[in-house]
Copies of this chain bind each other. A is one copy, B any other.
Amino acid sequence: MNDPKAFIAQALERLRAEVPGRTIVAASGGIDSTAAALLAQRALGERSRAVFVDTGLLRAGEAERVDALFRATGLAYRPVEASERFLAALRGVRDPERKRKRIGAEFVRLFQEQATEFGTDRLLQGTIAPDWIESGGALRDTIKTHHNVGGIPKSSKLVLVEPLRDLYKDEVRAVARELGIPEADRQPFPGPGLAVRVHGAVDRDRLRRARVANAVVEEEVDRAVAAKEMTAPWQYFAVLLDARTVGVTGDNRVHGEAVSVRIVDSVDAMTATAASVPPAVLGRIARRITRELPREVVRVLYDVTDKPPATIEWE
């Protein structure tokens, strides 16, 4: 892609050809799906319906942030509160692949319902090149909002529309700018949400811990960036590990959980480097997380691995 304006004009034309009737749009609030949803709204008007699902796996304040983002960009959308059904689908599931499959299946069911209600079989989503290249093409026919969850089942009649599938991340950013998506809070957030940042069993308690830890990482990094202690990273978040570890309060040993902090620099998410974060900033993050989750989280680790060999996300 050379020129975002030209790309947008072409994309609108293609969308009109590809969607003769109506489509729903999986809108997660991420930059990719927001750009895709705006393209669809421009191309199809009310024949496109963006659907935002609150899975209960969102970050602290996420639903509010997404609402503000969609309002700011003029994107009309339908919010769907679905935390009960996603938590139920995840009950007792510890294996990452099974987790993704359960979430994926729940997303498919939910979007199928939404599509049927809207009178279409089209589902538009913000798949970009790294989403399918990384898996060697295995992610074709996969719902991106919960990517790596396996394909849409044969029994489903959903037809995917993916206007951004040939773009790389920096190209999507250029398109997003052109579409008037504000620069703020553009860090990517995975479709399966905190479920893949809660390693092991997912329940309300562990989600709460992951949410608190993640909010601390976001606040402290934002503050450090504002204070020019570090440059703005590509992505920064917390992962609640599935590993008990020992801590100490006063003279007593306590068993608690550990949090991994991931802060990376990247251009296109295909490769990434662990950000050079000043030790003082990491110290503040560790102290705040363990103080705000006393006896629950007793250890904080900073992920110092580049991609490759590690991925950006933990699981």
Contact = CB atoms under 8 A, between A and B. Distances in A.
Contacts of A308: 247-249
Contact of A304 (B133, B246, B286, B310): B286
Most interface-central of A241, A243, A253 (chain B CB within 10 A): A243
A134 B248 contact: yes
A227 B95 CA distance: 44
A251 interface: yes
Given A276-B279, A304-B302, A253 B311 contact: yes
A289 B129 CA distance: 30
- Identical chains in the assembly: 2
Given A241-B243, A253-B134, A274-B283, A303 B309 contact: no
B249 A301 contact: no
A199 to B, nearest CB: 6
B314 A310 contact: no
- A-side interface size class: 35 or more
Nearest to A260: B301
Interface in A264-310: 274, 276-277, 279-280, 282-283, 285-287, 290, 294, 298-310
A283 B304 contact: yes
Given A243-B243, A305-B300, A277 B274 contact: no
A251 B134 contact: yes
A135 interface: yes
A156 interface: no
A46 interface: no
B298 A301 contact: no
Contacts of A261: 304
A81 B10 CA distance: 73
Interface of A: 96, 133-136, 199, 241-249, 251-253, 260-261, 274, 276-277, 279-280, 282-283, 285-287, 290, 294, 298-311, 313-315
Closest 7 CB pairs of A and B: A301-B301, A276-B279, A282-B304, A299-B310, A290-B309, A286-B304, A246-B311
